[in-house]
Structure formats: C-alpha cells, structure tokens
C-alpha cells in the first residue's frame, strides 16, 4: 500500500473528497495527508476529515496566502491540537509568486515553526526559489527538533543532503516523472530509501502519463512506480519504505 503524503482534496473542481479517497484506495493508496493552505477552509476540512479513517490533515497558511491580519501563535496552537491534525503546514518561503520585502513571509514561517515545536508535530515545508533563506530559518529556529518534509522537492543533491542533515524527509511529486527533470531523477536514485516520501500535490502536477490533467491521490502510484524503475527496485519495496517512513515521521497518525 502507498501513502499520498501531500494532497489538497478541497481544491479539485467538480469532485468531492470522498470520491477522490475511494479512487485512491481502489488503486492501492491506503492513506492521504490533506494539506491546509489557509484558515478559511480549515473548519470545513476538519469537519470533512472526521468522516474518514484513512485521511489526516495539517494546519497551516501557505506562504503566498495574503491576509489582512496574521493569526497569533496561540490561535494556531489551539487549532493544531486537534487529533486529526498531524502536521504543521504547508509553510515556508516562496519568492516565485511573492516579491519585494519578504519580512512578512519569514515571520509567518517562524510562527509556524514555533507552533510545531510547541505541540511536537512535524512540518510540511514549501520552498520555491527561496532555498537558502528557507534552510537558514530551519537551522536558526532548530526545526530539527520536530523534523518534517520538504514537499514537492525539486532541488539538487547538495540541498537534499542539507535537508536530511536537518532531520527532514524528501518528498517527490509528479515532477520527478517529467522528461526534463533529469537532475531531480538523479536525486531520486541516490536518496536513501529510508528518507523518501511520495506525494501528488493534487490537483496540481499530475505525473506522466496524466501530465497536464487534473491530478488526484490515486496517481501517487505513478510517482512511486517511476522512482522504483529509476532505482531498479520493485514498486512493493518503494511503497513499503515510503509508507513506513510516513508513519515513522507522523507519530500521531494512526494507520
């Protein structure tokens, strides 16, 4: 069985979370982590996730989400203490879509790190064109205390090593299946299996052979299969390892 370690069940158009989860299970995906991007959607996420035994959620505000007022740490801690919340994020830095003074993004990131450390739940890190600043904040804020995932990883081997040194796992999305992603494929071949996770980031970034279409958790199988072939290992080996890694990291998730 596989785990989709990063999906957005509420962002898919014209399809309900229950349909996506049922299709995932039919394709051998036993569990999903439904990742939060803002607090506006969170109450509905929390209500919906109660109907599933095999879906968990995170609590976080995406780096690009614009707010009139940032919630304080105490508010985030209260929300994140729900048993269905197993992670904090997605959080991090994104200099691709946001420009100018990034002080507000960095402070939001630090607030999420404080929440994670206060309640002892791992982080889901979004890092786009902000690699060095993201890693520096993870170091200075002692993020290794809780660990987490560098989700949708697209960096080189050196960055992967730095992330692992900080106690983080590397999660590969459908991007690894893209023809031009040769450098990323080399990382997937070299990465110790015990530090690897797989994800869809659905409804975005559908893997080959569905590239350009709406992604869904069931398609994490294509990501795992592609990595298995790269590494000359079986799908079963990759599936077992990444599933074990998920539950090792997210200790409050009950299989």
- Residue 99's Cβ-count burial label (10 Å; 0-12, 13-18, 19+) is exposed
Residue 97: per-residue pLDDT: 81
For residue 66, what are its two tokens?
């614009």
Q: Considering its fold, how many domains does the chain have in total?
A: 1
User: Does the residue 255 lie in any domain?
Assistant: no
Is 71 domain-assigned? yes
Q: Flag whether 231 is in a domain.
A: yes
CATH number reported for the structural domain that contains residue 139 in this entry: 3.20.20.140
**93-106 tens-digit pLDDT:** 999 987 778 899 99
Could you tell me if 234 and 2 are in contact, meaning their C-beta atoms sit under 8 angstroms apart?
no
Residue 254 lies in a domain: no
* Residue 73, in any domain of the structure: yes
Long-range contacts of 186-190 (CB under 8 A, 24+ apart): 186/157, 187/153, 187/155, 187/156, 187/157, 187/160, 188/227, 188/230, 188/231, 189/230, 189/231, 190/157, 190/160
The residues that bridge with 2 in the sheet, in sequence order, are 29
126 beta partners: 92
Q: Quick one: pLDDT at residue 101? A: 84
Looking at the domain assignment, is residue 79 inside a domain? yes
The residue segments making up the domain with residue 128 are 2-249
Has residue 38 been placed in a domain? yes
41 falls within a domain: yes
Beta pairing class for 196-198 and 123-128? unpaired
In a 13 Å sphere around the CA of 22, the CA atoms on its Cβ side amount to 6
- The tens digit of pLDDT for each residue in 186-238 reads 999 999 999 999 999 999 999 999 999 999 999 999 999 999 999 999 999 99
Lowest mean pLDDT among 45-49, 56-60, 96-100, 205-209: 96-100
């Amino acid at each position: 069985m596989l785990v989709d370690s990063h999906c957005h069940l509420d962002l898919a158009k014209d399809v309900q979370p229950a349909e996506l989860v049922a299709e995932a299970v039919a394709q051998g995906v036993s569990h999903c982590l439904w990742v939060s991007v803002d607090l506006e959607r969170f109450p509905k996420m929390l209500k919906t996730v109660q109907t599933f035994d095999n879906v968990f959620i995170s609590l976080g505000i995406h780096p690009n989400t614009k707010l009139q007022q940032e919630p304080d740490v105490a508010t985030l801690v209260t929300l994140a203490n729900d048993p269905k919340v197993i992670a904090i994020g997605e959080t991090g830095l994104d200099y691709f879509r946001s420009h100018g003074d990034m002080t507000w993004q960095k402070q939001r990131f630090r607030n999420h790190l404080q929440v994670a450390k206060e309640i002892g739940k791992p982080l889901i890190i979004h890092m786009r064109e902000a690699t060095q600043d993201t890693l520096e904040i993870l170091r200075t804020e002692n993020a290794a205390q809780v660990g987490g995932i560098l989700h949708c990883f697209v960096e080189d081997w050196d960055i992967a090593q730095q992330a692992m040194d900080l106690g983080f796992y590397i999660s590969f999305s459908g991007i690894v299946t893209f023809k031009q992603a040769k450098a990323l494929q080399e990382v997937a071949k070299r990465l110790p299996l015990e530090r690897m996770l797989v994800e869809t980031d659905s409804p975005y970034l559908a893997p080959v052979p569905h590239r350009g279409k709406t992604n869904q958790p069931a398609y994490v199988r294509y990501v795992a299969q592609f990595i298995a072939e790269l590494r000359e290992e079986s799908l079963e080996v990759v599936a077992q390892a990444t599933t074990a890694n998920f539950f090792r990291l997210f200790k409050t998730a009950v299989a």
